[in-house]
A and B are shown apart, each in its own frame.
Chain A
Amino acid sequence: MTTLTKSSEQPEGREVTELDRVTIRFVGDSGDGMQLAGTQFTKTSAVLGNDISTFPDIPAEIRAPQGSLPGVSGFQVSFSSHDIFTPGDAPDVLVAMNPAALKTNIGDLPRGGILIVNEDEFSETNLKKAAYKDNPLTDGSLSAYRLYKVPITSLTQRALKDTGLTPVQIDRCKNMFALGLTYWMYSRPLDTTIRWVQEKFGKNKAVADANVMAVKAGHAFGETTEMFASHYIVPKAKLKPGLYRNITGNEATALGFITASKLAGRPLFYGSYPITPASDVLHELARLKKFGVRTFQAEDEIAAIGATIGASFGGSLALTGTSGPGLALKSEAIGLAVMVELPLVIMDVQRAGPSTGMPTKTEQADLLQALYGRNGESPVAVVAPATPSDCFNIAIEAFRIAVKYRTPVIFLSDGYLGMGSEPWLVPNVDDLAPIDPDFASDAATFKPYARDPQTGAPPWAIPGTPGLEHRIGGLEKADITGNVSYDPNNHDRMVHLRAEKIERIVQDVPDVEVMGEPGGPLLVLGWGSTYGAITTAVMRAQAQGKKVTSAHLRHLNPLPKNLGEVLRRYDRVLMPEVNLGQLRLIVRGKYLVDAIGLNKVAGRPFTIADIENKITELLG
C-alpha cells in the first residue's frame, strides 16, 4: 500500500514525494528481460537500505509465441521504509512492455495506479495477438489510471544507434531503458546495476556499454521529459543491524542444506530429477561442489530418492528434492526409509496440483500427501519454512531432526517461497549448533534396532565399520535384532515404536508463540508461506484496535506440544491455507477445535486484503 507522507517542491518545479512503501510490477514478453529488470530493481533497492520482498510470475512455456498472452512474464517487487512480509497485494506501478502484458495484468492495478506502457509495441499485429479489438491506449479504457505512454523501443534504438550493435541486440536493451526510468521515478542510484552489467557482459564490451547507455537513457528521459510531474523517494527501512544480502527461498534452502552438512561434518548428497520449481536447488548445489556436495541427477524421481537412501546408508547427509508430482513418485521409497529408519530429507517445493497442475504457480496442497501419502503406518516428520530467508533455518532444522531421530523429514516449501526473495541477515556460522551423526562403532554392544532411550532412534551403523555387518530392509523386522519377523505382536510393537519415535521429536519443537493477546475472540493460525500475508493483515487489524492474534507453525509433524492449549484460549480460530483446508482437518481432528477455513487455490498466494477482509467479517 502506498502511503503519502509528505511532499515538497524542488527548485526546478518537480515535486518529490516521500512514500513508505511502493510495489512495482514489470511485465512483458518472456523474451523482454522482465525478470532481469525486476531483480536489478530489487538489488538496487536492497543496497539502498529498503526492506524488500519480491515475487516473479513466470510462464510455464519457455518461449510461447512472441507477443502472445501465454508468453507474458512478470516480476513484482515491493520496497519499503518499514518491515514488510509480502511482495505486496497489488502493484502501485505497472510497467507493461506490450499489449499482451497489459491485458493480463491491468486487472491487478488499482484505479489511480501508475501505468507505464511501451507504446511502440501497440501495433495492429501485437494488439491482435493480445486479442484487443481497439487500441486501449487511445480508446479511453485506461482512463482510470495514471497512464504514461513512453516509446521505449524507439527511444532505446535512438540512444544506441551509434553502438554498432545489431537491431536485435539493441532491442534486447529496452528492459534496461524501462529500468532506468523507474530508477529515476523512485530516486534510485544506477551504480549497482552498472556494476552488475559490467561484470555480466565484461567480455563483450559493446553489449555491456549498450546496456549501461540504455539504463542511463531511461533515467535521463525521466529527468528531462515533462511527462512526469513528480518523482518519489522511499527512505531506508529500520532493519536489525548487520550484514544483509538479498536471497530467494530456493537459494536459502540450498545454503541451509550445505550448512547442515558442515555442521554435521558429513558430505551432502543430493539426488534429484529436474522439476519446476525445485530445479534451482539442484543448480545451486551442483555449482557448489567445492563444499564436497555430491549431486546425482537421476533418471527419475524414484532413482533420485533411491540413490539418496543409499547415500544415507553410507553415512552422508542425504537429501532429495522435488515438487508435488515427484513426491508422489517417491512415496514407496519414503516408506522404505521409514521402515529401515535412516536419516533423510525430502524437499518438496509445492506447486499447484493435482497431476502436472500449474508448475510455475504456488500452492500448499501437498501437506496431507507429506503426512500420510504412503502405505501402512508410516509417520515422518514434516517442517515448513515461513519466508524465503527462513528456508535456510528450516533446512538445517530438517537435517537436525533427521539425523537425531534417524527418520525421513519432509521439508515443505512452495513456489511462492522458492522463487520469492527478501533481505537476509547473514548469520554467524559460529552461532549454529553442530549436528552429531553419532555413528555406531562398538561391535560388542551393537544391535541394529536397539533404541536410544531418549529419542527412540536406532543406531546409524554405516558400511565400512568392522563388526557391525547387518542387514536392513523393507520387510518387518524383529525388535532389537532387526531380523525379518512376521510375528503379529512384534509388528504391533514395531508400528508403535516407529510412531512413538516421531512423537518424541516434540521435545525439540519450540512452543508456538502468539503475536498479540494471549487469548481473545480470534486467533489466525497459519503455516508455511502464508506467514507474510497473515502477519501483515493481523498487524493492520491490531493497529485498528481489533482483538486478533496470529500464530505460525513451522513444525507440522509433530505439532508443538502447547498448540492445543493455545487454540483453546481463543473463541474462534481462523486458518488461511492455499488448499482446501488440509491443516484444518488435522487441527480439528487432533484438538477438537472447530477452526474456520479461509481457503484459496488460485495458484497465487493470499493477499493481505484477503485475510484482512476475513478478519473484518469475523470481528465486524
Chain B
Amino acid sequence: MVTTDRPENVGGLTRKDFVTDQEVRWCPGCGDYSILAQTQRVMPELGIPRENIVFISGIGCSSRLPYYMNTYGFHSIHGRAPTIASGLKASRPELSVWVVTGDGDAFSIGGNHILHVLRRNVDLQIILHNNEIYGLTKGQYSPTSEFGKRTKSSPYGTIDRPLHPLSVAIGAEATFVARAIDIDAHQLAATLDRAARHRGASFVEVYQNCNIFNDGAFAEFAAKEVRADRTILLEHGKPMIFGKEQNKGLRLNGMTFEVVTIGENGVTEADIMVHDETREDPSVAFLLSRMEGPAFPVPVGVIRAVQRPTYDQLMQQQLDEIARAEGPGDLRELFTEGDTWTVE
C-alpha cells in the first residue's frame, strides 16, 4: 500500500459540509450524480480543511461539478483545467487541488495538457468522467467513442479509432492510474480516497453513464448482475482473481494475459499473477489498461501507484535551495549588476 501522508481526521466535517446551495442541473439518472455524491462523501475523510480544497474543471457536463462542491472552485474553459490547476498547485503547494474533466475535455481539446500535467507529476487529482460521448453539445462522438459509432455527427458511423485513457496516462508517465464505475459507489469512493492520498498526479477514469446520449455504454460489464464476472477489482499484493465464484484469474503467458479458471487444467491460485501497483516498469500496467471485454474482465481499482518527486515539491525545493545558497534577492544589487557608472 502507498503510505498515507495526510491525517485521518474528519475535523468535525461531514458530507453535508461539502454540499452547496446550488441546484444540481444534470439530467436525472446521470452518472455524474454518483461521482458528486462519492466525492462529497470522501472529502471529510481526508482531514483537509475545507478552505484548502480547490476543484477546477473545464467545459462539459462533468465540469459543472465544482459549482456543487462547497470548497473553492473554478469552472474554467474547455480543456484547460490541468493548466490552471498546475499554476495554482505550483504556486500554492499546500492546497489540495482536484481537476474534474470529461473525455472530450481531457482527451480532445485538452489532450496536450493531460500529457504534460501527468509527466510533470503535479500533485493533484484528475477525475475523468468518461461517458464516451459529447453530452453538453447533445450527442456527438468523443475521442473515446467506439469505432463505427453512429451519433448525430457520425450518422454513417465514426472512422476515428478511440484512445484508451489509462494507456495514454501510463504513456505520459503517470504515477497513479486507477479506474472506477459510477454505479459501484463503494469502489468509486475507495478509489477517490486512494487518489487523494497519492502524492503526485493521480489519474482516475470513471466510467460514467450518459443515460440520454449513450445509455448503457458500460452495462455489458458494469451492470450489477454481470459485474463480478466481467470486471476485475485489482488489489495490491493480491492475486488477480475475479468472478462470482472467485475462481477465475489472470495469468501472464509470455507478453499477454490469459484468463484461466482455478481448479481446471491443473491451474491453482499460485499460477495467478499477483497485482503489484508499485511496479516501476509500466508494461504490466499498460497491458491491464488495454484489457477489454468480452474476452477479458475490465480492470477496476488502482492499476499503478508509484512514488516520484512531485513538480510542486521540486519547484519549492529548488527555490529553498537557491534562497539558502544565494540569500534573498536584493533589488539594489540586481539593478546594479554588471557595469555601472556614475554621472556627477
Contact = CB atoms under 8 A, between A and B. Distances in A.
Contacts of B76: 306, 309, 336, 473-474
Contact of B90 (A239, A299, A302, A307): A307
Contacts of B95: 314, 463-464
Contacts of A298: 83, 116
Contacts of A292: 319, 323, 329
Contacts of B343: 49, 239-242, 244
B245 interface: no
Given A336-B76, A466-B49, A473-B66, A296 B86 contact: yes
B77 interface: yes
B295 interface: no
A267 B92 CA distance: 11
Interface in B39-91: 49-54, 56, 59, 66-67, 69-77, 80, 82-91
B94 interface: yes
B264 interface: no
B265 interface: no
Contact of A309 (B20, B22, B75, B87): B87
Given A46-B341, A310-B88, A426 B336 contact: yes
A484 B67 contact: yes
Nearest to B57: A473
Contact of A46 (B59, B75, B339): B339
A327 B25 CA distance: 35
Interface string A43-73: 1001101000000000000000000000000
Interface of A: 43, 46-47, 49, 192, 196, 239-246, 255, 258-259, 262, 267, 269, 271, 288-292, 294, 296, 298-300, 302-316, 318, 332-333, 335-336, 340, 426-427, 429, 463-475, 483-484
Interface in B296-344: 315, 318-319, 322-323, 326-329, 331-332, 334-344
B322 A289 contact: yes
Given A196-B339, A484-B67, 16 more contacts: A49-B343, A267-B91, A292-B323, A294-B315, A296-B86, A299-B115, A303-B82, A303-B112, A306-B84, A309-B76, A314-B88, A429-B332, A469-B51, A470-B73, A474-B59, A475-B75
Give the most central of A241, A271, A294, A483: most B CB within 10 Å: A294
B227 interface: no
A310 B315 contact: no
Nearest to B337: A245
A471 B66 contact: yes
Interface of B: 20, 22, 49-54, 56, 59, 66-67, 69-77, 80, 82-92, 94-95, 112-113, 115-116, 315, 318-319, 322-323, 326-329, 331-332, 334-344
Contact of B92 (A43, A239, A463): A463
A143 B4 CA distance: 82
Nearest to A44: B339
Contacts of B83: 298, 302-307, 310
Contact of B91 (A262, A291, A302, A316): A316
Contacts, number: 201
B77 A310 contact: no
A467 B319 CA distance: 30
22 contacts: A241-B342, A242-B343, A244-B340, A244-B343, A245-B340, A246-B338, A269-B91, A271-B87, A292-B323, A294-B315, A299-B115, A306-B113, A308-B87, A310-B56, A318-B87, A427-B335, A463-B53, A469-B51, A471-B67, A472-B75, A474-B76, A475-B75
A47 B339 CA distance: 7
B339 A43 contact: yes
Contacts of B50: 466, 469
Contacts of B74: 310, 313, 340, 471-473
A306 B87 contact: yes
Contacts of A463: 51-54, 72, 88, 92, 95
Contact of A288 (B92, B113, B329, B341): B329
B339 A289 contact: no
Nearest to A318: B87
Contacts of A43: 338-339
A471 B56 CA distance: 9
A286 B75 CA distance: 30
B339 A245 contact: yes
B91 to A, nearest CB: 4
B97 to A, nearest CB: 9
Nearest to B342: A243
Contact of B335 (A245, A312, A313, A475): A245
Contacts of A313: 54, 74, 84, 88
Contact of B341 (A47, A467, A484): A47
A43 B80 CA distance: 45
